[in-house]
Amino acid sequence: MGIVEIENLWYKYRGLEEWVLKDINLDVKEGEFIIIMGPSGCGKSTLCYTLNGIVPKLFHGEMKGTVIVDSRDVSKYTIAEMSTIVGMVFQNPETQITSLTVEDEIAFAPENFALPREEIKRRVDEILEFLGMTDLRYRNPYALSGGQKQALAIAAVLALKPKVLVLDEPTSMLDPVGQKIVSDIIARLNRELNMTIIAVDHRVEWAAEHADRIVIMNKGEIVLEGKPEEVFNKKEVVMKIGFRPPQVTEAAYYIEDMCRLNAPKPYPVTLTEAEKWYRQLINKYKWGGKDEQEG
Amino acid sequence: MNKKGEPIIKVEDVWFTYKGNIQALKGISLEIRKGEYIGLLGQNGSGKTTLAKHFNGLLKPTKGKVYVFGLDTTKASVAELSNYVGYVFQNPDHMLFGKTIFEEVSFGLKNKGVPKEEWEERVKKVLADLDMSDVPLTKSPHFLSLGQRHRVAIADVLVLNPEVLILDEPTTGLDYKRCHQLMRTITKLNKELEKTVIVISHDIALLAEYVDRIIILKDGKVLADGKTREILSQPDLLIQSNLIPPQITLLAQKLSDIGVPRDIIKSDELSHYVCNQIITKDK
């Protein structure tokens, strides 16, 4: 059984004609690292917001279908109850931070749940230690770098020990240093703590290297879904929806079209795969089409 | 009028210190020539926005000189410099305030005392230049999509017809398709209207497709300055300044032992190279 089970999910915002989500079906296994991609307005953020119930509880609108997280039907629980199961991190860290010290920010949610003081302190210590932020404990969050702020937003969410972490474009407002800080944290939470991660991210090369599964949405529907190599090997669909694959895959697509050649399959999607693929292709055609060992 | 290729901005050993003794620029010297299309790169805190704000006099050097169209920026007013250099901020929502697109875009004209009869024509022209002719002038800029709000923010500045346009991370928050649509429009301003364009960005793969020259700042100094291809084909240089080199360049360089050129910076360049190899070998 999956930790997230979305079945025949439809949703439209109040006052809008068009369904933003159209018959979404998605199962996520515990410990999976999923990256959702797709153009603006494709419904990927809305889909994320259904996981802790802020859609439709805060945004309102019409919803059909079911969302089950950790065996709980999200529609039957409050947002507060769901927050201990699904942690949600948004694009702009500044809109998520409310406290005047890093420590207070992390303690904020557990305080709201009236956890014992010792337990709160233990969680804050643990999280700061895990994220390597112990030195920043008494700092003002607003004086942190963009990447550190977003790391803090993640830390604050982790304080409730959720099983699933949902991140809606956590890196798109950060510079490359900040992107690396946040990407590394996400990867570690998944690898070291086996946390289930569902993240919206536009960085396709990063997604292809790290995700267990990529979900591509377009106009409210899931159009492609699978391991990165599966998704980006469906060239016709990728081209049809105008989605840009990793550069190494994109170049392979072009080669096939340009030289009218039946390129070896599967297409490469990571740098390591690409080195092998291109080396074989170039060597194969070296010296007039005969296979040739390199060197 | 300056001719294409003539230096229009000269930065001479500029140092800048913010209050609290934070040194943001440490001895920068460079020249920007008319008609150039430049990408200004560097991690947050490298000084790129501080430098860009010296180009229109928003900041004045603590030490050294900046000349914009021959004017010493420590002596010229920001208003005077704004005739030459337009600055578009990163977040369009920090710039937009008009109730309608017309009110928004004509504000600069009003401010500069341009006769009212000219406003409509100039607003329409600038929106056409930005591929926005189909959006009604009476619409509120606040309800446009992010991509279009970026365009209106550019229109605000472009309507005054500056020689130089500085765009601070114009594609932040846009998806792939909209990024490229906007960059194509910006490129048109450079190639057709012959504006000098300076784009501040972190997106190397995007800059690789459009700009002609790249300047990388690190710790308040110029780390690299040269043709786009020459700079981007040095992954070590990029990594040093915490920037992510194009994946395709990394691949090309891994394959350099079998003859793949090391200075490939775009996907289709690798495809062309491989196809040429295959076709020649076939004969």
Q: DSSP label at B3? A: P
Q: What is the CA radius of gyration of chain A?
A: 22
Confidence (pLDDT) at A272: 97
Q: Are B82 and B204 contained in the same domain?
A: yes
Residues B169 and B198 both lie in one domain: yes
Whether B122 and B262 share a structural domain: no
A139 and A101 Cβ atoms separated by less than 8 Å? yes
Tell me how far apart the alpha carbons of residues B237 and A16 are, in angstroms, rounded to a whole number: 49
List the one residue out of A201, A214, A186 whose CA is nearest residue A270.
A214
pLDDT tens digits, A170-214: 998 898 999 999 999 999 999 999 999 999 999 999 999 999 999
Give me chain B's average pLDDT, please. 93
User: CATH number, domain at B20?
Assistant: 3.40.50.300
**B241, part of any domain:** no
Contacts of B145 in chain A (CB under 8 A): 40
Domain assignment present for B155: yes
Q: Are A283 and A294 in contact (CB under 8 A)?
A: yes
ipTM comes to 0.90
A271·B250 Cβ contact <8 A: yes
For chain A, the domains span 4-239, 246-287
User: Which of B267, B277, B280 is the best substitution to test chain A (most A C-beta atoms within 10 A)?
Assistant: B267
Cβ–Cβ of A202/B176 closer than 8 Å? yes
pLDDT digits (tens, 9 = 90+) for A33-82: 999 999 888 999 999 999 999 999 998 899 999 999 999 999 999 999 99
- Indicate if B148 and B257 belong to the same structural domain: no
pLDDT at position A263, please? 86
Question: Is B186 domain-assigned?
Answer: yes
Provide, as residue numbers in chain B, all residues whose Cβ is less than 8 Å from the Cβ of A91: 173
Residue from the list B146, B174, B281 with its beta carbon closest to the beta carbon of A288: B281
> In terms of domains, do B67 and B194 share one?
yes
What is the mean pLDDT of the segment spanning B123-128?
Answer: 95
CB contact under 8 A, B43 and A205: no
pLDDT band at residue B1 under the 50/70/90 scheme: low
Looking at the structure, do residues B219 and B79 belong to the same domain, yes or no? yes
Mean pLDDT, residues B227-237 taken together: 96
Is residue B2, in this structure, part of any structural domain at all? no
Same domain assignment for residues B193 and B78:
yes
Does residue B230 sit in the same domain as residue B261? no
The one-letter amino acid code at A251 reads A
Residues of B in contact with A295 (CB under 8 A): 257
What digits encode the pLDDT tens for the residues A126-142? Answer: 999 999 999 999 999 99
For residue A289, the chain B residues in CB contact (below 8 A) are 281-282
Residues of A in contact with B282 (CB under 8 A): 285, 288-289
Distance CA B203, CA A92 (A): 18
Q: Measured at the alpha carbon of residue A245, what is the angle toward residues A174 and A217, in degrees to the nearest 5?
A: 80
Residue A172 confidence (pLDDT): 87
**pLDDT digit string (tens) for B132-184?**
999 999 999 988 888 899 999 999 999 999 999 999 999 987 888 889 999 99
Determine the residue type at A288.
Answer: G
Domain membership of residue B75 as a residue range: 7-236
* B65 and B179 housed in the same domain: yes
Q: Mark out the alpha helices in chain B (DSSP H runs).
A: 48-54, 78-81, 101-111, 116-129, 146-158, 176-191, 204-210, 228-232, 235-240, 247-254, 267-282
C-beta separation of A217 from A42 below 8 A:
yes
Phi, psi (degrees; rounded to nearest 5) at B194 = 60, 35
Residues B33 and B163 both lie in one domain: yes
Q: H-type helices in chain A, by residue range?
A: 44-49, 54-57, 79-82, 102-112, 117-131, 146-158, 176-193, 204-210, 228-231, 235-240, 247-258, 271-289
**B269 and B177, same domain (yes or no):** no
Instruction: Kindly state whether residue B118 falls inside one of the protein's structural domains.
Output: yes
Residues A216-241 have pLDDT tens digits of: 999 999 999 999 999 999 999 999 98
Of A258, A275, A289, the CB nearest to B275: A258
Rounded to whole angstroms, the Cα distance separating B110 from B117 reads 11
User: Which of A242, A247, A254 shows the shortest C-beta gap to B205?
Assistant: A247
Identify the CATH assignment for A4-239 out of 3.40.50.300, 3.40.50.10260, 1.10.3720.10, 3.10.450.100. 3.40.50.300
- Percentage of chain A with pLDDT > 90? 86
In-domain check, residue B264: yes
- How far apart, in Å, do the first and last CA atoms of chain B sit? 54
Report how far residue A248's alpha carbon sits from residue A273's, in angstroms, rounded to the nearest whole number.
9
Tell me which amino acid residue B226 is: G
The answer to whether B102 and B137 are in contact (CB under 8 A) is yes
Q: Which pLDDT score is estimated for B278?
A: 82
**B272 and B230 in one domain?**
no
Q: How confident is the model at residue A165 (pLDDT cuts 50, 70, 90)?
A: very high
Tell me whether A283 touches chain B (CB under 8 Å): yes
Here the contacts of A79-85 (C-beta below 8 Å, separation 24 or greater) are A79/A52, A79/A53, A79/A54, A82/A51, A82/A52, A82/A53, A83/A52, A83/A109, A83/A160, A83/A162, A84/A113, A84/A160, A84/A161, A84/A162, A85/A52, A85/A162, A85/A163, A85/A164
The two structure tokens encoding residue B113: 């005392």
Q: Is residue B147 part of a domain?
A: yes
Sheet holding B63-68, edge to edge: B22-33, B7-18, B63-68, B71-72
Number of domain units in chain B: 2
Measured between CB atoms, which of A242, A259, A279 is closest to B177?
A242
Measured between beta carbons, the chain B residues lying within 8 angstroms of A176 are 43, 202, 242-244
A residues 74..113 contacting B (CB < 8 A): 91
